Amino acid sequence: MALATDDEGVSRSEISREFLKATVDQGLGYLQLKTMARNSLQYAFIAGGSLWSDGRKFVAVPQCRQDLAMMKLGSSGCRQYVAGSEKAKLQWKLEEEFRAFEREW
């Protein structure tokens, strides 16, 4: 499952409001919201391969497993993979944002 919005001019909603409603109205917690955010990119119509070899368990593609565990694009294989995929770039950025948020909170 993923959260999404329609045109804000039509639905009068934006994504942060949908996440708030998911927590207040449905009682969803952080891990559920994190999965939904990941799913929104996993199943989006974005060019390129996914960062995840298993999109249900969020297991990284082999060339990025170690890099993702360390949260550093250190290996040339992972750098090349992410550079060649718009989807993987966005997924990597999301993981960086999760790490920053989790460090702070």
| Structure-token match 């550093």, residue found | 72
| pLDDT (mean) for 4-19 | 75
* CB contact at 8 A, 5 and 15: yes
Q: What is the pTM of this model?
A: 0.87
| pLDDT at residue 78 tops 80 | yes
**Angle, alpha carbons 81-55-29 (nearest 5°):** 120
| pLDDT at residue 3 tops 90 | no
Copy the structure tokens of residue 4. Answer: 């999404």
Whole-angstrom Cα distance, residue 87 to residue 49?
Answer: 6
* Polymer length of the chain: 105
Whole-angstrom Cα distance, residue 63 to residue 82?
Answer: 10
Q: Residue 8's pLDDT is what?
A: 64
pLDDT band at 48 (very low <50, low <70, confident <90, very high): very high
List C-alpha distances in Å: 31 to 3, 23, 35, 38, 47: 14, 11, 6, 11, 26
